[in-house]
Chain A
Amino acid sequence: ILNVEQSPQSLHVQEGDSTNFTCSFPSSNFYALHWYRWETAKSPEALFVMTLNGDEKKKGRISATLNTKEGYSYLYIKGSQPEDSATYLCAENTGFQKLVFGTGTRLLVSP
């Protein structure tokens, strides 16, 4: 069983702050790294899928980077807004389309 870890477990920031969180994963047998946004009472929604070392992806104020050699990915949110409040999940795909999820970082953005 893989061990995908996320930190911090939770984060509380003020509106306008920029923030980032970490996902670390075993780097052997790497195929892809996924980031999801998960709002309370909804289902997880895909943000990014990254496959290559050095990949950077961006969607609006949210971006992510990937280092497959050292086994980590960062998710950045620039100028956090209250609607960014959610749990952010990462998951490693080691092939065969099976994902192993971390436990998530719960973000709360206060107005």
Chain B
Amino acid sequence: NAGVTQTPKFQVLKTGQSMTLQCAQDMNHNSMYWYRQDPGMGLRLIYYSASEGTTDKGEVPNGYNVSRLNKREFSLRLESAAPSQTSVYFCASYGIGNEQYFGPGTRLTVT
């Protein structure tokens, strides 16, 4: 039981490049989330998926797209990376016990 996994752990992109961050959970949770964490800002919600087949914007969705591929997987795509998207990205899923379980994070640098 791996919990929530994310790939890659680290990534460096040049401005304008695209990439997809992958997230998977093996806890059979319905809801999944993508957050970004910036110094002094706390965790901010980018997108979430309440169930397979649905996605909704969070607080800071601009510049991102998501796909809920199936119940296990929720990916975050940056179509044209910008330096302002340099951040640590966390994926999470929400369990029956009202707890959110977080992945280990992806540290992204856009130069």
Listed in ascending order, the chain B residues whose CB lies under 8 Å from chain A are: 4, 31, 33, 35, 40-45, 48, 50, 58-59, 90, 94, 97-105
A52 part of interface (Cβ distance < 8 Å): no
Q: Which of A99, A102, A104 has a CB less than 8 Å from the CB of B100? A: A99
Number of interface residues of A (CB under 8 A): 22
B1 to chain A, nearest CB (A): 16
Is A49 touching B105 in the complex (CB atoms < 8 A)?
A: no
A56-83 interface (Cβ within 8 A of B): none
A32-B90 contact given A96-B50, A103-B41, CB 8 Å threshold: no
- How far is A42 from B103 in the complex, measured between Cα atoms in Å? 9
Report 9 cross-chain contacts, Cβ distance below 8 Å, ordered by A residue: A43-B102, A49-B99, A96-B50, A99-B33, A99-B45, A100-B59, A101-B42, A101-B43, A103-B42
Is A43 touching B103 in the complex (CB atoms < 8 A)?
A: yes
Residues on the B chain within 8 Å of A42, using CB: 104
